[in-house]
Structure 1
Amino acid sequence: MASSTSALTSALLSGSIVISGLGSGTDFNEVIDQLVEIESINMNRLETWKATWEEKIEVITALNTRMLALEEAAGAMDTEKEFLSRAATSSNTSVVTATATSSASTGASTVTVGQNVKHIVSTAGCADADTTAYGGSGGTLILESNGVSYNVAIDAADTLNDIVDKINAVTGENIVASIENDGTSSNQYHLVLTSGTGGDAGRITATQNPTALSLGGKDMVVSDTSSWGGASIGLTGMFTGDKSVASVYGYTFTVASSSNPSTIGADSFELNWTASAGGGSGTITVPADYTPGDSIEVEKGVFIQLGEGSVSDGESFSVNAYANDIDDAELGTWSGPAISTEGNYQGSVSKTFSFEVISAGNLQAGGGGDTIVMRWTDSLGNTGTVSLSDADQSYEVDQGFTIKLDAGTVTHGDDFQVNVFAPDKQQGQDTGLAQNCKLIHEGFSDTTITPVTDSDATFTYTYGGETTSVAVEAGTVLADLVDKINNDENNPGVEASIVNDGLGLPNSYRLVLTGTNTGAQYQISSVEHDFTGSNFSSGGDAGGGFSTSQLATNSMIQVDGFPTGDVFLQRTSNTVTDVITGVSLALVDGGTSRVTVSVDASAVADKIEAFINAVNYVQDYIRSNTKYDAEGDETGVLIGNYAFQIAKSQIDSLLNSSIPGLTDGEDAYTLLQQIGITSNPDDEGRWIIDEDILEDALADNPEAVAKLFINDTTTGSSGVAKQMYDLMDTQTNDETGICSVLISNYEGIVKNIDKKIDSEEARLELYRQRQVEKFARLEATLSTLSNTQTALESAIAELPSSSGD
């Protein structure tokens, strides 16, 4: 007995009482569980109560979500531009199609997509028109247009005015020369040539130019052939000579030949060359196996091409190469040291670079001072930064344009601009559509067998004014060259492909280079390679054996007669979005179309329907969760909730009321009911739309319908969309909104219930422990009694028999 009592005491102290039921044959644990369950009635009531409040919070949260959706729907149509959706139509969809956004104004515009667009060439800026000589070395200026050549005699002392007069005297209306003032503070005068014939045929080309004015995109031109024989001379590449050395570099090439005459492509001879600027000179050996028309590298991006014919010892020709396409800086707010604009612009369109200092400091010669950082943006939307740390160094900005600052202090926020020029001010185009550039090679024998080079080499091209080089290993075949170009990680946007011309000739496989961007700024040019051991040509007008199949061009349009005359608005794409506000024009072909913008009644009706649906989305939910069901099965969770009823009442009142600021008898509509929007008493008051009435109202007076919904700052009226937005904005405020306040209150109730539940859980645990202790003692007592009973029964069994023996 003492042993059982001691064990019970120990178990009670350790909190690990286990009632086995062996002593009594009864499962007291089950009895205890049942007693605790009976005692938990208050706990169960609390859990049910908590679940009820949590369900209410869930419903309120869902209502808040619906009210936010209504706020969004209202906010998307509470201004006139948002509400009155626009539709654009074109009278001639074979010329242009149009789409409109809500920011478009109603009305009509005449859109002309260029046809037979005239070529306009403009030189870089000149200091004046009537004093400075721009005749260069003097000689014959040869201009070509529409298949006709015009020889203009130029004197070295000729001014811009003189050159204009001389050109017009020879060309008449076929090429019209003029002077344009761009309005800048320096070098504002430009010689402008306009073709008399439109389209590609009317393109103006200067095949010989002795002047100091660049008229071609390669920045180089033959300037004198008076001492040259009959062989043609071609130029390819893109001149890279620096403006800081000279604005015009003059090259003279002289034949040195032991045999007179020497036949090009049959006899070997030498060309000695000298440059008037930069100190360049050299000797070019033209081998006997030279292929007429192939490119021969000179220097600084200059390549010459000699055509078939013969040359004699001492014959010479001259080339002008230009580095005057970067203007001086327009200083703006600049207060720092002197700015030098240098390099040689390699782009194909004129533009303006705008600079702003974003990291200032003191720039020193030789370095050691601060690093000056300037952000630049060009007029085409490109942007970047240039960092300058040494006043003795020139730093590249973009496309061959470099800049240099003298030593001195540079101020944060200071700005300046630099204009850069390309001769093609407006391309001569048959149709004013933007297109990409395409070059086609003269051809190769196969795609997978014959290597294009038997030694390691480089294939180089320029796209959009940026030069890219591709390493080409010995043994590379044409198909592999295509892969190397396309997979080059530095590829700026040129796609290589192969076309079989189907003629079965030794050069039927044509390598094609295609720009992936439309727009005149994305020309492919200056192709070169140093392949050996194959017949992979290096001639063509683009170099490297490539000829231009298609120039990259801008789209060209006039809107309502602007610009006037032969000038067009130019864009890089055939989708024009920034000429007519809110209207996107998709250009299809040359011609004229009338583009009309009107109210899109169908889209407006859709917005109204979406708004009413959002209203019903809220109202239906409130009705569902506040309704009374006599049997109780479908009674709403928030029945009798005053806040819910207020919210519903406010929405209904807003939609039923006349619009503040609108006057009956003066304004066409003052109530939603007048345009077919009413509540349906047969469907619990849901809001409905009579589509016929709404359609008639929108057709008759869409602006009056809009006033029922929008915030009209002109009249001071506040329509239902604006009112609803404001109401929902208030009702859904994170702190003071009706739902937020209810949720906060209800969460407080749940928190208090949780405290009671915690307290009840603790009480029930104590109750359980007391029951365990009680039944443990009972188990111990019963075990003792059982043992005593067993002992007595054994003792009785051992007593002597009481029989008479």
Structure 2
Amino acid sequence: MAGTLSIDGLISGLKTSEIIEKLAEAERAPITRLEEKKQTYTTRLSLWQTANTRLLALQNSVLNLSLASTFLAKKATTTGDALSVALRSGAQEGTYVLTVEQVATAHQMATSLAYADTDTTRFGEGTITITVGEKITEITIDASSNTLSGIRDAINRAKAGVQATIVKTQEGFRLFLTSEKTGLENAMTISVALSGGEAEISGWTEVQAAQNARVLLGGTNPLVYEGPSNIVTDFIPGMTLSLQKTGSATVTVSRDLEAVKNAILNFTGALKDFLQFVKDNTSYDPETKTAGALLGETTLTRVATELVRRLTGRVASGVYQSVMDLGMTLDRYGNLLVDEGKLAQALESNLEAVQELFAGEGGVAASLKEYLRFVTDPYEGIMQSTQKLYERVIKDLDERIALMEERLEAQKERWLKQFTALESFLGTMQTQSNWLAQQIASLNKSTGGS
């Protein structure tokens, strides 16, 4: 009742505000029912979105199992600390004996002279030219940058392929340059052409020579790799070597059955999560007499049933014709169980047959991938269509609630005006009654006096 002053009945003695609120409370019952309905659909929408998220996680795990590369996973075991190894696609099984003969280093140069300070002593003005490989950078030094720290900053701003800093030695401060990249091809040359000033840069001392990495493969007649970086990607196919120091290392590349097993368990875990979610939210518990918020929503139960059917169905051919052969079963409650020992044994004895069961044409993963694409399509999938339905219902309820709230506020305004009119009428009647009483008293007084 915005904008209207409400004062309980001064004449009638009625508690106007309380009466109006009681009337409004009774009139608000339909709004309360709509709000409860909206809450029900809001809960359903939230659960539906959760279900869709779990289906998307399941879809990702299925997609992984549909790829042949998942079953071709390999692992590298390294002895020795001269290098570390990361495998890429194309790595071949075998044992590789490697020797890091030298690691790549970055070229480092320092001024031959040391200086007493970094920002007071002035050098001349002119240019400093730095060449790194085929890149030539000419750096202008003027009155604003001709201190040691000014020169350092000018070099760093120029992005010449080197990093400049100032080091404090026993003799004083020196300008210290390091190539940003390692290897012979990134060695630097420095030419100084400064004139005037209190001090000069008269020469440079090589602190560390530029050096290529050098790695040997094999023993008697080793194959040799030499390159500018300690990250070697183009020596052994499918293998990235990160060189740490000189020394020897033996790298063994083998099938990674544990990674394949984990990919399968990731899939079964995602499926279990979804099936349990459906069970929890669509069933009725007779003991607690509570129902899941999605009870009666048959779409989810149909999806769950179809996923299980496609998982446990038999494929046309192969050594393993069903996931049951790998140790997967359903108990009498419909829960998915996995015998990890039997699964590991199947992977060890016939990895190719397991791959065929999942990733082969017409395999389990292919069937599930096709169905999940239909279910989770963000435009036409059945999950999306139901979500949009819930959103439309909630929007409609919001609009109806807002309209009814507006009407109720208008009704409360009318009730207030009616009570105000009643008070006004009673006030007028009281005034007239008082005047009439005064007239009668006056008349009686006049009559008695005569």
Is 1:108 aligned with 2:114?
no
Is the alpha carbon distance of 1:487 and 1:757 closer, same or farther for their aligned partners in structure 2, counting shifts above 3 Å? closer
Task: Provide the aligned C-alpha RMSD in A.
Answer: 4.2
1-structure distance, mates of 2:75, 2:403: 68
State which of 333, 350, 364 in structure 2 corresponds to 1:719: 364
- Contact 2:116 2:173 (8 Å CA) reproduced: yes
TM-score (norm 2): 0.81
- Take 1:508 and 1:754, find their aligned partners in 2: how far apart are those partners? 76
| Residues 1:514 and 2:195 aligned together | no
Q: Secondary structure at the match of 1:436?
A: coil
Change (3 A) 1:687 1:495: farther
CA displacement at 1:628 relative to structure 2: 1.0
The reply to whether residue 606 of structure 1 matches residue 265 of structure 2 is no
Q: Assess if the C-alpha contact under 8 Å between 2:117 and 2:173 holds in 1.
A: no
Work out whether residues 451 and 534 of structure 1, in 8 Å CA contact, stay in contact via their aligned partners in 2. Answer: no
Q: Aligned partners of 1:475 and 1:531: how far apart in 2?
A: 14
Is contact 2:212-2:227 (8 Å) kept? Answer: yes
Secondary structure, in 3 states, of the residue corresponding to 1:624? helix
Structure 1 residue 461 corresponds to structure 2 residue 130 = yes
AA aligned opposite 1:73: S
Higher share of residues assigned strand: 1
Structure 1 residue 467 displacement after superposition: 3.2
- Describe the shift of the 1:88–1:23 C-alpha distance in structure 2 as closer, same or farther (beyond 3 A): same
User: 2:322: which partner in 1?
Assistant: 671
Contact conserved, 2:231 with 2:240, CA < 8 A, in 1? yes
Q: How far off its partner does 1:731 sit?
A: 1.3
Paired AA for residue 132 in structure 2: Y
Contact in 2 for aligned 1:111/1:557 (Cα 8 Å)? no
Indicate the larger mover: 72-81 or 687-696: 687-696
Give the whole-Å Cα distance in 2 for the aligned partners of 1:17 and 1:536. 88
Deviations 1:673-706 (A, max 9, x none): 333334455xx54434333333333333333333
Deviation at 1:524, TM superposition (A): 1.0
The alpha carbon displacement at 1:60 in A equals 1.1
3-state SS of paired residue (1:76): helix
Mark the CA change 1:484 to 1:741 in structure 2 (over 3 Å): closer, same or farther.
closer
Q: Percent identity?
A: 26
Report the counterpart of residue 348 of structure 2 in structure 1: 699
Q: 1:455, 1:531 within 8 Å by CA — same for their partners in 2? A: yes
Equivalent position of 1:554 in the other structure: 212
Structure 1 residues 534, 112: closer, same or farther in 2, change over 3 A? Answer: farther
Q: Distance in 2 between matches of 1:577 and 1:435?
A: 17
Q: Please give the secondary structure, in 2, of the residue aligned with 1:518.
A: coil
The match for 2:104 is 434
C-alpha deviation, 1:68, in angstroms = 1.6
Contact 2:55 2:274 in 1 (8 A): yes
AA partner of residue 606 (structure 1) = N
How far apart in 1 are the matches of 2:75 and 2:196?
Answer: 61
Map 1:512-551 onto structure 2 (within 5 A): 512-530=176-194, 538=202, 545-546=203-204, 548=206, 550-551=208-209
Quick check: 1:113–1:589 contact (8 Å CA) kept in 2? no
The total of aligned residue pairs comes to: 446
1:728 paired residue number: 372
Q: Secondary structure at the match of 2:139?
A: strand
Are the structure 2 counterparts of residues 790 and 629 from structure 1 closer, same or farther at C-alpha, using a change threshold of 3 Å? farther
Conserved in 2, the CA contact under 8 Å of 1:472 and 1:481?
no
Residue matched to 1:133: none
Residues 17-66 of structure 1: CA distance to partner in whole angstroms, max 9, x if unpaired?
96752231213343233223223322322222222222212221221122
Give, in angstroms, the shift of residue 531 of structure 1. Answer: 6.2
Unaligned runs of 5+ in 1: 1-14, 115-430, 539-544
1:200-349 aligned at under 5 Å gives the runs: none
Structure number with larger C-alpha Rg: 1
Amino acid across the alignment from 1:438: Q
Higher fraction of helix: 2
Q: How far off is 1:433 after superposition?
A: 3.1
Number of the residue aligned with 1:67? 55
How far off its partner does 1:99 sit? 1.9
What SS does the corresponding residue of 1:729 show, helix, strand or coil? helix
CA–CA distance in structure 2, aligned partners of residues 454 and 59 of structure 1? 72
Higher relative contact order (CA 8 A, sep 6+): 2
Q: Which amino acid aligns with 1:448?
A: D
Residue type at the aligned position of 2:274: V
Q: 1:447 to 1:487 in 2, by over 3 A?
A: farther
Is 1:578 equivalent to 2:263 in the alignment?
Answer: no
Question: Taking structure 1 as reference, are residues 438 and 455 closer, same or farther at Cα in structure 2, changes over 3 Å only?
Answer: closer
Q: CA deviation at 1:645?
A: 0.8
SS at match of 2:141: strand
Gaps of 5+ in 2: none
